[in-house]
């Protein structure tokens, strides 16, 4: 994994750098919702910076912001690195971007529909060779070569024991689901190095409400285990998180190496009035403490199609670990300062 633990200057009793004292654009307190109207949020660390990207409600562009502090992402300037064309391929909805840096370049994976065909979604890569991705030149590298020409999105990348992998959600012909999860080693940013492995199919009652969905995979490597979280069911208040677990020394391409948790590991909290948590990721704060990154709404009932409700906000909360080393995500915390 390329995420780096940062030393908290304040915790070490050192003076905060000038950028952290510069006012509201770099606030030091984390509050939820963390970033409003950004679904599918991802936080990535590189070179002493925190980067954030996510889906915008208009589904028409790819955005990016960065900050030297985690809290500062909430008010950091956001730039548009790419806009969809007005017609043709990639001219439809733009979904769930993720930024990664490898092979000497920045890469942003995202799903894009064709113009006029909302759910003809395929995965593409945008790349930037410049040091600063906020001001650099981004160009479309191409479409990821998936095993089938079917609906696919939510690609994420990670490194395990020196090998870079791609994880994604896809509809497989012959299986009566909307999407399953797949893994494969990467040869290049757009090509797979081996035949993919299907890791999970939505079959449990909480995975098939509204739609039969496993999507939004994310990796957390801790305590000798690889934890793969994902999202399930429709994107209303039924949306929730599941988890697969494998040993750190297992063959990740072997589906038998993974064990699925029988119940959701994170779901709506009526007591805190937080609904439909999902499409999560992970980051660490300046003291190296693990946080869950996810989106959810502040209300249960939605008028119209949930995908066009703009109020899926990115949120953060700390992760605790049980005695056996497995993560305990708890319940979505209520609106307000994160403690």
- Whole-number Å distance between alpha carbons of 295 and 50: 18
Q: Quick check: is 215 catalytic?
A: yes
- 191-204 exposure pattern, b = at least 16 Cβ within 10 A, e = fewer: ebeeebbebbbbeb
Coil vs helix vs strand at 73:
helix
CA distances from 89 to 59, 92, 96 (A): 14, 7, 17
Task: Please name the residue that has the structure tokens 């995420």.
Answer: 3
Q: Which of 215, 236, 285, 286 is catalytic?
A: 215
Instruction: Write the CB contacts of 301 (distance below 8 Å, at least 6 apart in sequence).
Output: none
Nearest to 42 by CA among 50, 54, 25: 54
Q: Are 214 and 198 in contact (CB under 8 A)?
A: no
Which of 319, 339, 336, 286 lies closest to 49 in space, CA to CA?
A: 286
Q: Angle CA(120)–CA(121)–CA(125) in degrees, nearest 5? A: 145
| Buried residues in 235-256 as b, exposed as e (16+ CB within 10 A) | bbbbbbbbbbbbeeeeebbeee
Which of 1, 4, 35, 21 is closest to 287 using CA atoms?
4
Q: Among 284, 292, 283, 285, which residue's Cα sits nearest to residue 327?
A: 292
| Residues annotated as part of the active site | 40, 215
């Amino acid at each position: 994994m390329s995420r780096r633990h940062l030393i908290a200057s304040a915790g070490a009793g050192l003076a905060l750098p000038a950028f952290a004292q510069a006012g509201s654009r770099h606030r030091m307190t984390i509050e939820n919702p963390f970033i409003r109207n950004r679904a599918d949020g991802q936080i990535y660390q590189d070179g002493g910076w925190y980067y954030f990207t996510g889906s915008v409600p208009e589904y028409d562009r790819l955005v990016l912001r960065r900050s030297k502090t985690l809290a500062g992402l909430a008010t950091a300037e956001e730039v548009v690195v790419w806009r969809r064309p007005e017609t043709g391929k990639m001219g439809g909805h733009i979904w769930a971007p993720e930024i990664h840096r490898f092979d000497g370049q920045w890469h942003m994976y995202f799903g894009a529909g064709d113009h006029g065909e909302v759910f003809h979604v395929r995965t593409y890569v945008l790349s930037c060779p410049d040091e600063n991705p906020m001001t650099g030149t981004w160009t479309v590298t191409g479409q990821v070569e998936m095993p089938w020409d079917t609906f696919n999105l939510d690609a994420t990348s990670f490194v395990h024991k020196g090998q870079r992998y791609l994880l994604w959600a896809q509809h497989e012909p012959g299986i009566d689901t909307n999407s399953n999860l797949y893994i494969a080693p990467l040869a290049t940013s757009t090509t797979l190095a081996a035949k993919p492995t299907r890791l999970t199919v939505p079959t449990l009652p909480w995975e098939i409400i509204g739609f039969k969905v496993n999507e939004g995979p994310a990796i957390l490597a801790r305590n000798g285990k690889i934890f793969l979280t994902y999202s399930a069911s429709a994107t209303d208040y039924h949306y929730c998180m599941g988890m697969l677990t494998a040993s750190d020394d297992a063959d990740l391409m072997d589906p038998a190496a993974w064990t699925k948790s029988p119940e959701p590991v994170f779901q709506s909290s009526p007591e805190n009035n937080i609904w439909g948590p999902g499409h999560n990721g992970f980051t660490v704060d300046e003291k190296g403490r693990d946080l869950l990154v996810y989106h959810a709404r502040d209300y249960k009932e939605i008028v119209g199609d949930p995908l066009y409700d703009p109020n899926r906000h990115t949120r953060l909360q700390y992760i605790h670990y049980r005695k056996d080393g497995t993560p305990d995500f708890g319940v979505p915390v209520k609106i307000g300062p994160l403690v």
